[in-house]
Amino acid sequence: MEKNESSLTSLISAFGRAYHSKYDTPKIFDDYIAKDLITQKEFEDIRKNMIQGIQFFNHEIAIKFQDQPDEILKWITQVQLSPTPLARAAYCEKVLFHEIVLGAEQYVILGAGLDTFCFRNPELDPKLEIFEVDYPSTQDFKRNRLAKSNYQIPDNFHFVPMDFTKDIILQNLIDEGFQPNKKTFYSLLGVSYYLTKEEISNLIKELFAEIPLGSSIVFDYADDKLFEEKGLSNRVQNMVQMASASGEPMKSCFTYDEIEKLLEDAGLLIYEHLSPDVINNKFFSDRSDYLKAFETIHYIHAVKK
């Protein structure tokens, strides 16, 4: 990754959130700030590339809407790009607010990308310390965008630059003000697919080694059908192929028993597990557009006991 460049996946995720906030009704997750972190040129370039790439996504849709580029973009965004980023963010933040009521004082966002939680919830300063963990280049990119959009960094917000598959996570967090004795909530969204099973296991063990009981994590993971399931309009297969083409190949998928064992080894119990069907019923029911929960993707809330 080049200096001052965000990863392609974080840009596309932000694009999907910005599109949803502007065009979709009802809202699953309203990230009204995402648009401020993407330039108009980036938005238009992603829009253009998606429309021009419709043949890759679906030949029939390409023919059906050949004279309706906005409908093509809507189809690609709602079918392929947006469902998982929207629903997992909505679920994670709902759990987070419940955990704050139960005493969580620190929120660590792993692989934060262009997350906007802190700036959508200024009332949480000074109740909650927020730590964003990501590559230095991604964070430089984000700092630049925040400055250009006149967003001030609040006192409870901390950038923690690192590669958390290689660096010593806890010490890096402590160096930026993290306190291991305080109840903590972690999010690990859109990350587990890109790590090996060993990396995920080691990461979770390190995150929870020294923090108090009752601390917890929300993350999404792909089940063991990831590399064989085609999905609606081949979107699962498309997702895997796009990740590989972007230089960020997907590496891991799990059975439920494997995830349960991995968490048990780290001293965690599964508090809630959302399958694709449950996610669909919870976030996508009674819609008249293309948005539906993504096949093979599950959400977990696990607690240190």
| DSSP, residue by residue, the chain | --TT---HHHHHHHHHHHHHHHH-SS-SS--TTGGGGS-HHHHHHHHHHHHHTHHHH-HHHHHHTTT-HHHHHHHHIIIIISHHHHHHHHHHHHHHHHHHHTT--EEEEET-TT--HHHH-GGGTTT-EEEEEE-HHHHHHHHHHHHHTTPPPPTTEEEEE--TTTS-HHHHHHHTT--TTS-EEEEE-S-GGGS-HHHHHHHHHHHHSSSPTT-EEEEEEEBTTTTT---GGGHHHHHHHHHHHTT------B-HHHHHHHHHHTTEEEEEEE-HHHHHHHHSTT-SSS--PPTTEEEEEEEE-
What is the arithmetic mean of pLDDT over 101-125?
97
What is the arithmetic mean of pLDDT over 185-212?
96
2 domain residue, yes or no = no
Judge if 57 and 156 occupy the same domain. no
Paired strand residues for 159: 132
pLDDT of residue 167: 84
Please give the tally of structural domains in the chain: 2
pLDDT bucket at 266, cuts 50 / 70 / 90? very high
**Residue 5 scores a pLDDT above 60:** no
pLDDT bucket at 144, cuts 50 / 70 / 90? very high
73 domain residue, yes or no = yes
Domain boundary among 81, 98, 127: 81
141 domain residue, yes or no = yes
Judge if 56 and 123 occupy the same domain. no
3 domain residue, yes or no = no
Judge if 164 and 252 occupy the same domain. yes
40 domain residue, yes or no = yes
Range of the domain at 296: 83-304
Percent of the chain with pLDDT over 90: 91
pLDDT of residue 246: 80
Per-residue pLDDT tens over the stretch 71-96: 999 999 999 999 999 999 999 999 99
Judge if 103 and 235 occupy the same domain. yes
**Residue 1 scores a pLDDT above 80:** no
Per-residue pLDDT tens over the stretch 20-48: 999 999 999 999 999 999 999 999 999 99
